[in-house]
Structure formats: structure tokens, C-alpha cells
Amino acid sequence: MVTIDYDFQYFNPKDVLECGQIFRFSPYKDGYKVFSADKACYVYADGGKTFIECDDGDYFYNFFDLGRDYASINAIAMSYDVPLLQRGCALGRGLRLLNQNAEEMIYSFIISQNNNIPRIKGIIERICSSLGEEREFSGEKYYTFPSSKALSSAGKDFFRQLGAGYRDDYLAKTSARVAAEGIDGLYKLGSRELKARLLTYTGIGPKVADCISLFGFGRRECFPVDTWIEKLYREDFGGTLKDRNKINEYFCNLFGENAGYMQQYLFYAKRENFS
């Protein structure tokens, strides 16, 4: 077992895990168990530090993006004369963008559309327990995220029986395509080309493509637009555009290569204001 520690100021486990970018985690002891692909870790905060206990330190060092200077990203966010962004930056200083498994993100965000967090987590957990491999971490069993080959062999009815609803067809067709083609070629594409290619997969629209690009392929210039972003665009930016694609373009042009980070701060602040 390896233990990694990091400054809690720029790594708040609760904020990182509960901001909508990851679905495979659960409360455990003083923190959370987190699952990614075929790996697991225990993350918790104590005494001004955040600790990660795991069997693969290199994987989770990269997964939690610990090599990146979030103090500088925070300073960039504060430099914009946008009160909501500054508020999100101040309250959500401990937010981080995760470097997650791309295939897992493809299926997770297909499941996420028009869905709520508990239901998304439940569907994913049932898929893992049915098709994944059983492993053990910290004395308890868990299941890996299944391969595209395993997903494609399950069939449309399997996904419907697990509660995926109309997304059953999306999961069946996209997993069959990924199993046949692989996704290695996607990593070589520029961000615009990557989004365009993702849009050719069954069940992937613009917002889902941006989420997959941001959270699965590490394209930090992507800016997913959902109902929360539409709301803050109108209320906090005085925006008048109706087309989500144009709203996405507006924010990408405004924030450039840091758009993904700014999206998280804004999303966090708007949800906090609402609650």
C-alpha cells in the first residue's frame, strides 16, 4: 500500500468527487473509496492535508492531477472580472479536474444524459458488478469497469434490464464500435477533431462529447454546457444566445485553454448559490 499526501487547500476530496465529473466513488471511513478502470483507492482529508491510500501510486498521482499547479489556475480564475467565477474560485479552491479512463468516460457520460447522479451511479455499479472482474481493496471486494468487448457482448436487452432506459441502444451500439475499432486513434486528434469524431458515436451529443473530451482525454480547453451553465450564462454574463453550441463557443473563446477549469468553478459557484 502506498500513501500520497497533498495540500488540502488545493485538493478537497468532497468538492472534487461531488462536482459531477466522476460517478464511481462511495463514502468510506473518513473519506471516500474511489474506483477508476480496474483500480481503487481511499482518499480522505486530515490535518490540512489530503491523503490517498492505494496500491498504484503512479496511477492515482496522475488520476488526481497532482503534478499540476492549481494555485496558478486559481489565480487565473481570480483575474477575470466575473463575480461568480471569483466566488467559485474562492469557495472551490480545492477543486481539481481528474484524468480518468477515456473508455469509462464514454459510457459513463452516455448514461449521464437526462439522468440524476444516484441513478447514474446505480446503473454504472450494476454494469460493473455484472460484467467487470472482481478485485479486492482494503479487505473489501469491488468490480472493475468492464472492457468494451465485454460491454458489446452483453447486448441491448442487458442494458435495459439494468435500468439504462432508452440509452440501452446507445450503449450497445457504441460499445460494439469501440470494441471493433478501439480508441487509440482518438488521442492523436486535436480537440475540435476529437469532438467531431465523438459526435459520430451513437448516443453522444455536444455536451456529452465535451465531458468525455474534458474528463477522459484531458482536453482542458473544453467547456460542457448544461442547464446550469445556460442559467449562469443568462443570469451572470447577461447572455442572450439560445443555441448551446454558440454558448459553448462563447465560453471557449472567453477562457481559452483554461475553459475546463473555469467551467468547474462557475458550475460550483452557481450550485452553491442555488443551495
- Grid cell listed for 80: 477575470
The position carrying cell 451553465 is 229
The residues facing 258 across adjacent strands are none
Contact present, 212 and 105 (Cβ < 8 Å): yes
207 tagged catalytic: yes
Rounded CA separation 58/101 (Å): 14
User: In DSSP terms, which residues pair with 149 in a beta bridge?
Assistant: none
- 4 beta partners: 52
Q: Is-contact 52 3, C-beta < 8 A? A: yes
111: nearest Cα among 154, 153, 174, 37: 174
Which entry of 33, 39, 195, 207 is annotated as an active-site residue? 207
Q: Which residues contact 135 (CB under 8 A, 6 or more apart)?
A: 38, 40, 141, 142, 143, 144
Give which of 29, 40, 32 is closest to 12, Cα–Cα: 32
Cα separation of 160 and 66, whole Å?
38
Cell of 69: 499547479
Half-sphere exposure of 108 (CA within 13 A, CB side): 27
Neighbour-count burial of 112, counting CB atoms closer than 10 A to its CB (0-12 exposed, 13-18 middle, 19+ buried): buried
Provide the grid cell at 119.
Answer: 441513478
Residues labelled catalytic:
207
